[in-house]
Amino acid sequence: MKKLVDLILIGAPGSGKGSQSLKIKEKFGYRHLSTGDMLRAEVAKGSELGKHVAEIINSGRLVSDELVLSLLKLNCNSEDSFLFDGFPRNLLQAKMLQDEIFKKLNRDSLALYFKVNNEDLISRIVNRRTCKNCGTIFNLITKPSSNGDYCDNCDSTDKLSHRADDNEEVVRGRLNIFDSESKPLLDYYANLGKLKIVDASMSEEKLFGEISRLIN
């Protein structure tokens, strides 16, 4: 099978990284590495570490680089092509990824920036609902489940969940953090000649077509 370059998805919360990751993983067989999912799994364990992480996530701040890096390293030892979703979030994480993983393991990468304007992002996020069982992401307005409050993609009997950090006040803070911490990544990857920008305001299907074209 053709070896694909590792992908780094950069985008503000609600820009569609999670939904596209599921599609990319399914079609191309990438190993999906979402640091947000890893952290939420830690929260679900209810451990002391999980409680600490929950407090940070719910306030919209970023978790420490050390913690994210250690979780990531635990999940990163594989021959697969990696799909980084939500990592790196700042320059320090990007440099570590470049030096410790890509250079050492002689891997090539491509960063995709999901560009969407902030008002669209806020509306997307406050209406976002997720199936905790299969991971499908819905939107109450643009992509409702045909099964009401329940998932129409699997037979889970749990209601679709609304993330505690998906309310407007927290989201505005998360968008500010994206602008100050994560936007510098665009120059970083552009200087490495590894950045592509996609218009993520288009429909999920069209966007997936565009991404498939870029990575194939």
Q: Which residue ranges make up the site for ligand AMP (CB under 6 A)?
A: 13, 35-36, 39, 56-57, 60-63, 68, 86-87, 89, 93, 165, 174
In the residue annotation, 163 being an active-site residue is answered as yes
In the residue annotation, 172 being an active-site residue is answered as no
In the residue annotation, 31 being an active-site residue is answered as no
Identify the active-site residue in 40, 124, 129, 174: 174
Q: Which is nearer to ligand AMP, 56 or 147 (CB)?
A: 56
- Residue carrying structure tokens 């306030």: 59
Structural tokens at position 172:
């505005």
Residue whose CB is nearest to ligand AMP in the complex, by number: 36
Residue 146 CB, nearest distance to ligand AMP (Å)? 25
Residue 159 CB, nearest distance to ligand AMP (Å)? 20
- Give the CA count within 13 Å in the CB-facing half-sphere of 91: 9
> What is the longest distance spanned by two Cα atoms in the chain?
48
Q: Which is nearer to ligand AMP, 97 or 151 (CB)?
A: 97
Residue 151 CB, nearest distance to ligand AMP (Å)? 19
Identify the active-site residue in 40, 124, 128, 129: 128
Q: For residue 214, which of 98, 79, 111, 86 has the smallest C-alpha distance? A: 111
In the residue annotation, 213 being an active-site residue is answered as no
Identify the active-site residue in 163, 172, 194, 196: 163
Q: Which is nearer to ligand AMP, 147 or 167 (CB)?
A: 167
Q: Which is nearer to ligand AMP, 13 or 16 (CB)?
A: 13
Residue 207 CB, nearest distance to ligand AMP (Å)? 18
Q: Which is nearer to ligand AMP, 16 or 60 (CB)?
A: 60
Show Cβ contacts of residue 9 under 8 Å, excluding neighbours closer than 6 positions: 17, 20, 21, 83, 84, 85, 86, 111, 112, 114
In the residue annotation, 89 being an active-site residue is answered as yes
* Cβ atoms 38, 53 nearer than 8 A: no
Please state, in angstroms and rounded to a whole number, the distance separating the CA atoms of residues 124 and 120: 6
Residue 68 CB, nearest distance to ligand AMP (Å)? 4
List active site positions. Answer: 17, 89, 128, 163, 174
